[in-house]
Amino acid sequence: MDDLIPIDKVLEINPRVLELEKQGFIINPEKIDDYLEDFKNRTTTLPNENYWKDKRVLITGISGFAGSFLAEQLLDLGCEIHGTIRRHAVPMHENIEHLRGKIELHEADITSAERTYEIFADIQPNAVFHLAAESFVPTSFREPARVTSNNIIGTIKLFEAARRYDADLDSVQVACSSEQYGLVDPNEVPVTEDLKRNPFRPRSVYGISKCATEQIAWLYHNSYGVPSIITRGFNHEGPRRGIQFVTSVVHRQIVEILNKKRDKIVIGNPNSIRDFTHVKDTVNAYIILSEKKKFGEPFNISSGKGITIADYVKLAKSIYKIDADVFVDPQRMRPSEVPLLIGRNDKIVKETGWRPVRSILDIIKEGVNYFQRHPEMLGIEAH
């Protein structure tokens, strides 16, 4: 820990960011009341229970962060839920443990065509949500070939199965990512779905794999009529988020400070700006777009506002009245950084009525509360 740098020595002031703040696209902790005012009485389109009741749904990657919340919401809508999970030596899937007996799990390597065809033939799904992917960006730098194979080959095998067993299939949603946009010019922010204005410049193998995922979904829709739903999700956060992701890194350290087990907060790049949406709002968007059959075209799933990681920490500290020094660990920096990502959500709002209804304070409070309820997950360093 000797190479930690005090955050003040790393902070940068970007004139474009100041401009974006004036335009209302940046969350400023000093003006949090103005931000929260925008959430008062905000409503969103909710799924139609009559549409979803008794539908057979397949969720790949159901034991993941978003997959578990998606399963919960679809169960509440009366769906019959099936999900793929990876085989582990110890069959533990904490995120869905509370759903045991309510969902049917299928062990599968999604890169196996034979196994994927078997599952489709068995279930004959009405709706598919394809969330299975290696999603932690640093992993794609450490294991680029494995991440590429898992994310791209797995998607091809899934769409081949969808093409063969399409009799009852109403939709196949693919969870793509804001990482596809990558190195966005500050003058191109906030980002739209229009690739003429915002071309893909991915800065990681993960981002590249998601560009390919989207293209596969588009190709199978246009060539074979597979009912593809394409979502470009910006950072979705909340309880159960993997411990290696930045929000969980902050939330865990807040709990450790409250428990007097730590006296400082350590993060990676404090100047990165991200657009955080609550995971429950994100999966609601997946469901709404599938229900409304918005096939073959991409939709940003975002809050429309960004915040620097430094200000995210500042906000978390203020909520819990913590006075702890913040440091930057150079080892947490990516080899190829994506400095600024804020998404426009005008398209999905206009075409479906979906809006995020949970604030960044909800993300922080629910994330911290999760680790308070799971003390066994504290004290783990994640890079």
Q: Report the alpha-carbon distance of residue 191 to residue 281 in Å, rounded.
A: 19
- pLDDT of amino acid 2: 64
Same domain, 66 and 98: yes
Same domain, 71 and 115: yes
- pLDDT of amino acid 90: 46
- Please answer whether residues 266 and 382 qualify as being in contact, where contact means their C-beta atoms are separated by less than 8 angstroms: no
- pLDDT of amino acid 336: 63
Same domain, 323 and 311: yes
The letter for the amino acid at 142 is R
Q: How many CB atoms lie within 10 A of CB 217?
A: 28
Q: Report the alpha-carbon distance of residue 368 to residue 210 in Å, rounded.
A: 30
First-to-last alpha carbon distance for the chain, in angstroms, is 13
CATH number at residue 254: 3.90.25.10
- pLDDT of amino acid 302: 98
The H-or-E segment that residue 326 falls in is strand 325-328
Identify whether 133 is part of a domain.
Answer: yes
Identify whether 105 is part of a domain.
Answer: yes
- Please answer whether residues 337 and 11 qualify as being in contact, where contact means their C-beta atoms are separated by less than 8 angstroms: no
Chain position carrying tokens 């749904």: 57
Number of folded domains that form the chain: 2
Same domain, 185 and 291: yes
Domain of residue 219: give its range.
49-236+277-301
Same domain, 222 and 117: yes
Report, as ranges of residue numbers, the positions in the chain whose pLDDT lies below 70: 1-2, 88-92, 334-336, 379-383
Tell me the angle at which helices 246-258 and 360-373 cross, rounded to the nearest 10 degrees. 60
Question: Considering the entire predicted model, what is its pTM?
Answer: 0.94
- pLDDT of amino acid 140: 75
Same domain, 68 and 31: no
